[in-house]
Every structure is written in C-alpha cells, then in structure tokens.
Copies of this chain bind each other. A is one copy, B any other.
Amino acid sequence: MKAILHPARAVTLAFLAAVMVGTVLLMLPAARADGSGAPWIVALFTAVSAVCVTGLVTVDTGTYWSAFGQATIMVLFQLGGFGMMTAATLLGLMVNRSPRLRTRLMTQTESRTLALGDVSSVAKVVLVVTVLVQLVVAVILILRLHLGYGFGWLEAGWSGLFHTVSAFNNAGFSIHADGLSRYASDAMILGPVMLAIFIGGIGFPVLHDLRHRWRDPRHWSLHSKLTLSGTLVLLAGGFLAALVFEWHNPRTIGPFAVADKLLNSLFISVSARTAGFNAIDIGALTHETWALHYLLMFIGGGSAGTAGGVKVGTVAVLFLLVLAEVKGHPDAEAFGRRVGTSAQRQAITVLVLGSVVVAVGTIILLRISEFPTDQIIFEVISAFGTVGLSTGITAQLPVTGQLVLALLMFFGRVGTITLAASLVLSERRMPYRYPEEHPIVG
C-alpha cells in the first residue's frame, strides 16, 4: 500500500493545518487568562511560533494565556517537533536509504511516494525516544523544583513538564517572562534542560546510529559523524566565544562566580543554536555576542530533529568542499568517505536560498520599522532558524512585521527541509549537454 501525496507538499500542508487549528484554538476566550479572546494576529503569531518550535512571542506566555492556552501551545510545539522529526527522517530515508543511493533514488523519483509501513514504524520509534527522554528530564526538573524551590507538586509538575517538552522540541517557550533567568546559577535545572535540547536537536538519524552502533563508531553514517563533530565544534566555539565576549559584561555574566560564568556561557552556546531559551537577558549581551548568535542561529542543529537553521550537516558539507578546493583535492571527503556531488549542490542551494531569505527579510523589516539593524538581523535570523531568542523588539513590531516573522519561521522550519527533499526528488538527466566554459572567478 502506498501513500498518495508528494511528500514535501504533504509536510507543508500538515504544518499549515496545524497552524490554522492552533490559531482558532488560541482565539477562544478560554485560551486567554482574562477570558476575552486573543486578537487574530496574537493567536496566529503564537500558533506559528509554537508549531514551528520557535518560541518568539508578542505576549508573555505565562500571564497572557490561561492554563488551557498554555497547554494548547505546549501540544502545538510537541506536535510540531514530533511531526518534523518524523517527516524529516522519512524524507531523509527516501533519498538516503541505502549506500546504493542512485538506484534507490531513481526508483523513488519515479513513484514519489512513501510506503505507509515506513511512516508508522519511523513514527513509532520517534515517539518512544520522545516519551523516554522527556520522562527522564521532566522527573528531574519536577523533583528539583519541588525539593529545591519549595514549589507545590502541581506547580512543579506543570512548570517541569512545560519546560521539558519545550526543551526537547527546541521550542524555547517558557511560562516565565524572563525565560530561565531565575535558574541561571542552578546546574540542576540548566543541565537537564541542555541535555533535552541536545538530544532533541541532534536529529533522529544520529540518535539511531548512537543507539544501534554505540560501541562501533567506525560504522556510523557519514551524516552522523559530520553532525556530531560539527556540533561539538560549534558548542565548544560558541562556549569559548561567549565566555570571552561576556566575561566582563556587568549586565550579564560579569558579576557571576567563575563556575556560573562557565555554566551560562555553555548554556548560551547550547541554546543559541536553536533552542532559544535564555538564562540571561539577550538584550544586554555585547554586540559581538549578538554577532556570534547570528552565526550559531543561522547554522542551527542536526537534520531531521527538532532543531532549526540550515543544519550542521549542511554547513559541514560546505566546509569539506572548500577544504578540498583549498587543498587542491578533487573530492570533498571526510572520515574515509567522499561527499556526493549532488549533496554538495543541495547544501549550497539550501545555504544560498536561506541567506537570500534572511537578507530579504532583513531589508523588509528595516523598511517597515525603525529598529536598529543589529536588532532586526537578530530577530530575522532567530525567526528563520526557529530559535526564538529576541533582543526584545518582537512585540513592538507592526502587524506587517510580525507577519513577516511568521513567514520566516514557517519557511525556516518547513521550507529548508522540504526544499532539500524536493531538490533530490526533482533531479533528472538532460538529453543534451552544452559545451563547457570556465568563466573567471575572483
């Protein structure tokens, strides 16, 4: 039995449907704390932000929405994260199922379908991972909040559950207006949160390799090796850069003890790449840390997970290509494998189109608002990378600006993944070739 829709289109439609249902639910009077019903733009923006696991908000999640509203938001980002992890894994399988890629690819290009059996088995495994990880992290957080902060079980349970689901799905929503700032020096909170962010954001294909070939890293896929090593480089680089850039900043980690400086620099590095939690005020960071965020937020996390951005694997492919060219090698290679040229072209295309989207979004927002460029760039990349960090201007943007951000979130979340899959599926041979010419470069 076969499914019937072009998979990239099916994913897009599913996410649009989730946004619409979410918007309607959030406009119900019962969703708002004061029972008055939220305006359409607030409901729409929040629904897009939740479904796209971004976390940008124009209202304070903890006080504006009722318990029902908050639960709706949580369900939306849980579904958004779960749906995307499943969908992206399936899309990845379609183009990457076996080493004999070309054969497989050709068959599937013709049929352009997925067997339903694939769908349900992948979904099952993703569900198990999701539930297991969230269970462990939620228990730790709830215990910590109850024992360490004197929260009642109900309050600790709700806060622990909400932040766990938000962390695993890299959603970045918090029921506190200042995010996790109140726990900035509590490794027992930030630690489990970072773990959930990492596991959710590294992507299903890597988790699969880690689980099934734990003792045999040599046989991990090239994708897993690239994603894991790239992630480590980004985490370490982001940590060191944040530490240096913020060390003396009196408005952020400057006054902290050394251990807390280390903890919070690490948290910045982990969270900036796509989760979007903040334990310190983003608006108070130095300009160079903002610039660091531009890079980390644009790159994002692992493919086929809850993370956004253009993905670590994509950037790794570009890096290998440039490295090969600089060394004069004909092949982009790593870990004893060469990267297929079609993967290289797809990586470049995703990066270029992503950059174009960010550039266009930036110019539009500069045009329709009066905020400085650095805050606009931050907001645009945060939306595109579905990060959700903000220097604090989201709520003050005009409605058109918020709609632009919503489009950026949707394209950043759904577009980059479906684009890559569409590129692979649309590959075809041409009946002729033009003669080659070598234009001057540089």
Contact = CB atoms under 8 A, between A and B. Distances in A.
A328, A336, A338, A438: most-surrounded residue (chain B CB, <10 A) = A438
Interface in A383-442: 416-417, 419-421, 423, 426-430, 433-442
A420 B439 contact: no
Given A291-B362, A291-B373, A350 B437 contact: no
Interface stretch (A49-57, A94-102, A271-279): A94-102
A409 to B, nearest CB: 16
Interface string A297-311: 000000110000011
Contacts of A438: 95-96, 101, 339-340, 342-343
Given A303-B440, A372-B287, A420-B442, A348 B318 contact: yes
A439 B325 contact: no
A115 interface: no
Interface in A287-337: 287-288, 290-292, 295, 303-304, 310-311, 313-314, 316-318, 321-322, 324-331, 333, 336-337
Given A366-B291, A434-B337, A437-B99, A442 B222 contact: no
Contacts of A316: 439
Nearest to A225: B439
Interface string A211-235: 0000000000111001100000000
A299 to B, nearest CB: 12
B325 A349 contact: yes
Given A352-B322, A374-B372, A442-B314, A287 B337 contact: no
A205 B437 CA distance: 14
Copies of this polypeptide in the complex:
2
Contacts of A17: none
Contacts of A434: 331, 333, 336-338
Q: Is the interface of A mostly helix, strand, loop or mixed?
A: helix
A221 B439 contact: yes
Interface residues of A, number: 87
A350 B92 CA distance: 30
A210 B394 CA distance: 51
A346 interface: yes
Contacts of A439: 96, 221-223, 226-227, 313, 316-317, 339, 343
Given A322-B352, A328-B427, A417-B442, 11 more contacts: A222-B439, A287-B376, A318-B348, A325-B349, A330-B428, A336-B434, A338-B435, A338-B437, A340-B437, A350-B442, A420-B441
